[in-house]
Copies of this chain bind each other. A is one copy, B any other.
Amino acid sequence: MSYDAAGYPPFAVTVDLVALTVRDEALQVLLVTRGEEPFAGVRALPGGFVREGEGLLAAAERELAEETGLHAGTGAGRAHLEQLATYGEPDRDPRMRVVSVAHLALAPSLPEPRPGGDAAAAAWLVVDEALAGPLAFDHAAILRDGVERARAKLEYTSLATAFCTPEFTVSRLRRVYEIVWGTPLDPRNFHRKVTSTPGFLEDTGRTVADGPGRPAALFRAGATTTLHPPFLREG
């Protein structure tokens, strides 16, 4: 035991980011490739040390901006950001005792990420493929927890709109649900559900024609954050 003078063991505290988006009809996660040991060359969640005088959410916002250029909040070019869980098993990092506060970020489809920051090449990967391959540290478990959190929150919150651009159609929102949940949904029942939930969608009055078929009405995210009644999976 090497407690310091203050009577407590020192820890390193990091934030890791589970940044999810819906791209190319698939749920994708932002991963970096590690440049140094341990796990050199292995993919990992983006993250970094929390700085002195910096809050946990602020550190996650900084990491998100460094890796993607996105800022937290709601609105155009903004991503949803929330704390996910904290991982601190003693042996999760072979170098030292690290406690990692994982955060979940949800964003609309983006162009390629900027490979800036201290991280190596960052790229969006399909979640299933990312979980099939090796991930550094306990990041596979963190990613699974993040995906499950996102899936669960689609049920009882309006969080799916965080995967959409500021204005979107009902079918685009339905594709988000289908892709994140991995199950097909009836377009007519889905339309009835989301349009009849008060405060979920806000009509812009305009329509867009995208490919064949009747043009769809354009909506914005409404003020409601929690869905009553919820929108449950697997009847």
Contacts and interface: CB of A to CB of B under 8 A. Distances in A.
B83 A101 contact: no
A185 to B, nearest CB: 17
A90 B55 contact: yes
By secondary structure, the A interface counts as loop
A217 to B, nearest CB: 29
Given A99-B99, A101-B99, A232-B229, A52 B88 contact: no
Interface stretch (A3-11, A162-170, A175-183, A199-207): A3-11
A28 B50 CA distance: 35
B88 A85 contact: no
Nearest to A83: B85
Contact of A88 (B8, B56, B229): B56
A1 B51 CA distance: 9
A2 interface: yes
B89 A86 contact: no
Interface in A86-100: 86-90, 96-97, 99
Given A55-B88, A83-B85, A90-B55, A9 B50 contact: yes
A52 B9 contact: yes
Contacts of A54: 90
B55 A97 contact: no
A117 B147 CA distance: 39
Nearest to A101: B86
A209 interface: no
A51 B7 CA distance: 10
A230 to B, nearest CB: 7
Given A11-B11, A13-B13, A86-B86, A52 B6 contact: no
A49 interface: yes
A6 B95 CA distance: 10
Contacts of A52: 1-3, 9, 90, 97
Contacts of A85: 83
Interface of A: 1-4, 6-13, 49-56, 83, 85-90, 96-97, 99, 101, 228-230, 232, 234
- 6 residue pairs, one from A and one from B, having the closest CB atoms: A10-B10, A56-B88, A86-B86, A8-B49, A9-B52, A11-B13
